[in-house]
Structure 1
Amino acid sequence: MSDHDRNGDVRQHKPLRADAQRNEDRLLRAAAAAFAREGAGASVKDIAREAGVGVGTLYRRFPSKELLIEATYRHEVQHLCEAAHELAASLPPADALRTWMERFIDFMAAKHGMADTLRVVLSDDGERLETRANLAAAVDHLLAAGTNQGVARPHVEAHDVLMTLGGISFMADTEQQPDLAAKLINLLLHGILTN
């Protein structure tokens, strides 16, 4: 039986105590940053240290690096989807869109660092389609807020925005130009916003 099978609680686990949940959140944020910087070869000890917990705490929650990568990916997707609603409620529509797009590029950098492992642990096409649908719903929420306030063009498709952001992420990574993503996001927003 694989770690994934034995530890199916990565996706559906009983609620953690508040302190344990804070530790897990810190671990997953530190892991996302480490995987974005260093890829799947990032040191588990360094991730634990950056999160401010012992490596034993990390291994009790995530007995293998594959499980840590899988949980990090799901955590980042969840936070990205939740962020759309938070940003739409707290920022003007154009700023909310820009901020969410920047977070999406950060997410893609972390995902790129985990890509080889994710291909193995996320072999279910249904899950990939569900993730894409959830991210599209987040973009659609932001676009609707912009359209409702007259600052975003109607009929912009969320899936088109996601595909464009994926291309921006790929180009920024390939060209290794840190400011390229911001320039390309500006171009994308120019096509979405009315002014």
Structure 2
Amino acid sequence: MVESGARAPRADAQRNYERILDVARTVIEEQGTQASLRDVARRSGVGLGTLYRHFPSRDALLEALLRRRFDHLAERAEVLADSCPPWEALTRWLDEFVAGAGRYRGLPESIMATLRDDDSPLHAACLGMRRSGGALLQRAQLAGQVRADVTAVDLFALANAVGWIAEQDPALTGRREHLLALVLDGLGARPRQA
């Protein structure tokens, strides 16, 4: 989409942009989020300068690849909040979040690295998703279903940890749901002891 008053990109520039994104998706699926940008440029058939004109940093490239997914997760949080009880909405959303974190090796680490980096394009792309997940957390806390001392940062750190653990060993990938269930058990509100 072109902003009002801005020129539309040239057709060849738009083709390069799309080709770089397509190739980057493949390269990052193969090599993880720390994949060589030089390899992305070479396999796209463009120079490294062209890649950097479109994506001035690794985070900018990841942001372009992940923006739709993050927007989808933000929208899913709203849908789940409207259609499910608080605990169910939170757990279903976290399951989708953790499942998606396994899409690219290194993604949980990349997300955590940008959590507090306001200047990162990936941070900005995650913001709406984090706010929506935080709203689900707050809703479950208000319903007395999640410990009051859990913050949204805690929630994302734990969810990313499950994603990271699952990518370390194929045997653990199949236990992702179990690991998430253990985390959710820890988040659950506990009755006060006398």
Contiguous gaps of at least 5 residues in structure 1: 1-13, 49-54
More helix by share: 1
Q: Distance in 1 between matches of 2:184 and 2:14?
A: 36
1:187 and 2:187 equivalent?
no
Q: Contact 2:76/2:93 (CA < 8 Å) preserved in 1? A: yes
Change (3 A) 1:161 1:153: same
Q: Which of 110, 120, 123 is the matching residue for 1:131?
A: 123
- The within-5 A match list for 1:1-195 is 24=17, 27-28=20-21, 31-39=24-32, 40-41=35-36, 43-44=39-40, 48=44, 55-56=45-46, 62-63=51-52, 67=56, 69-76=58-65, 78-91=67-80, 92=84, 93=89, 94-106=91-103, 109-110=106-107, 125-127=117-119, 131=123, 134=127, 136-147=130-141, 150=143, 152-153=145-146, 155=148, 156-177=150-171, 178-192=173-187
Q: Distance in 1 between matches of 2:131 and 2:104?
A: 16
Q: Secondary structure at the match of 2:106?
A: helix
Deviation, structure 1 residue 142? 3.1
Deviation, structure 1 residue 161? 1.4
Change (3 A) 1:36 1:60: same
Equivalent residue for 2:3?
none
Larger-gyration structure (1/2): 2
Question: What is the percent sequence identity of the aligned residues?
Answer: 16
Q: Which amino acid aligns with 2:96?
A: T
Contiguous gaps of at least 5 residues in structure 2: 1-5, 190-194
Q: Secondary structure at the match of 2:146?
A: coil
Aligned positions, number: 165
Q: Distance in 2 between matches of 1:151 and 1:29?
A: 45
RMSD of aligned C-alpha atoms?
4.7
Task: Tell me the TM-score normalized by structure 1.
Answer: 0.55
Task: Tell me the TM-score normalized by structure 2.
Answer: 0.55
